[in-house]
Amino acid sequence: MPSADKLIASLESMGVRIYGINEPNVSSTRKEISWDNIAGYDQQKRDIEDTTLLALLSPETYDDIARGTRCKFESNRPRAVLFEGPPGTGKTSSARVIANQAVSC
């Protein structure tokens, strides 16, 4: 298998311009994201905080609420979130907020 340098040289010899090779890794320079970075969707953000983030950041409080609001208590904290919707509606940004806040706990 040819090395990356040989592949790049081959592409450049064909006239292909390659950008960003010498730039630092984008993921290492990505800034922290919070709910303040996502405009609107206040009810959806509140729902995410009340279910997913409450279970992660304060499991005892989540269990107390579950005991008081369910006929049969089971400690079934959310383990996954499924976002759906058209492109550009904040699905990935919301997942990043959850990930940033989950890392802090």
Q: How many residues does the chain have?
A: 105
| Strand ranges, E, within 1-105 | none
How far is the CA of 58 from the CAs of 47, 74, 98, in angstroms?
Answer: 15, 16, 14
The candidate with the shortest Cα–Cα distance to 96, out of 24, 38, 23, 29, is 38
Stretch 22-46: mean pLDDT: 75
The candidate with the shortest Cα–Cα distance to 48, out of 38, 69, 28, 22, is 38
Question: Is the pTM higher than 0.75?
Answer: no
pLDDT tens digits for range 50-87? 888 888 788 888 888 888 888 887 777 777 788 999 99
- Cβ count near 73 (within 10 Å): 12
pLDDT band at 29 (very low <50, low <70, confident <90, very high): very low
Stretch 83-92: mean pLDDT: 91
